[in-house]
Amino acid sequence: MSGIPLNYFVFLSAILFTIGVVGVLTRRNAIIVFMCIELMLNSVNLSLVAFSAFHGNTRGQILVFFVMAVAAAEAAVGLAIIIALFRNKQTVNIDEINIMKW
Amino acid sequence: MDFLGSELLAIAPVLSVTILSLLVLVVESLVTDSEKISYWVSVFGLLICGAISISTLDLTGNVFNHMVNVGGYGSLFATLFTTAALLTVVLSRDYLRKEHVSFGEFYLLILFSTVGMMLMAAAADLIIIFLGLELMSICLYVLAGFMRKRSISNEAALKYFLLGAFATGFLLFGIALLYGAAGTTNISYIVENYGKLAASPLFWVGLGLLMVGFAFKVGGVPFHMWIPDVYQGSPTTVSGFMATGAKAAAFSAFILVFAHQEFESGEKVHTALAFIAAASMIVGNIVAISQSNVKRMLAYSSIAHAGYMLAGLAAGNQLGRTGILFYLVTYTFMNIGAFGVLSVLEREEEKNLTFDDYAGLGTKRPFLAALMSIFMLSLAGIPPFAGFFGKYYVFVAAINAHLTWLVIVGVLTSVISVYYYLRLVMMMYFQESELQFTQPSSVSSLAVLTIAALAVVEIGVFPSSILSLINNLY
Domain ranges of chain B: 260-474
Say what the pLDDT of residue B19 is.
96
- Determine the residue of chain B that is closest to A85 in CA distance: B154
Q: State whether residue B169 sits within 8 Å of chain A by CB.
A: yes
Q: Using the 8-state DSSP alphabet, how is residue B68 labeled? A: E
Residues of B in contact with A99 (CB under 8 A): 151-152, 155, 233
In a domain? residue A1: no
Whole-structure pTM over 0.90, yes or no? yes
List C-alpha distances in Å: A56 to A8, B22, B184: 17, 37, 11
Residues spanned by the domain of A83:
6-96
Q: Which pLDDT does position A101 carry in this prediction? A: 67
- A86 found inside a domain: yes
Count: domains in chain A:
1
pLDDT category, A3, cuts 50, 70, 90?
confident
Interface confidence (ipTM) of the complex? 0.96
Question: Which tens digit of pLDDT belongs to each residue from B135-184?
Answer: 999 999 999 999 988 899 999 999 999 999 999 999 999 999 999 999 99
Q: Is residue A102 part of a domain?
A: no
pLDDT, tens digit (0-9, with 9 covering 90-100), for B286-311: 999 999 999 999 999 999 999 999 99
Q: What's the number of CA atoms in the CB half-sphere (13 Å) around residue A46? A: 18
Q: Decide if B123 contacts B214 (C-beta within 8 A).
A: no
Within a domain: residue A40?
A: yes
Domain for residue A101, yes or no? no
Q: Does B229 touch chain A (CB under 8 A)?
A: yes
Residues 6+ apart with CB under 8 A from B106: B92, B96, B143, B146
Q: Tell me the pLDDT band of A102, cut-offs 50, 70 and 90.
A: very low
What is residue B398's three-state secondary structure? helix
A57, part of any domain: yes
Percent of chain B with pLDDT over 90: 71
Confidence at B1, pLDDT banded by 50, 70, 90: very low
**CATH code of the domain containing A92:** 1.10.287.3510
* Per-residue pLDDT band at B265 (split at 50, 70, 90): low
A20 to B169: CB separation less than 8 angstroms, yes or no:
yes
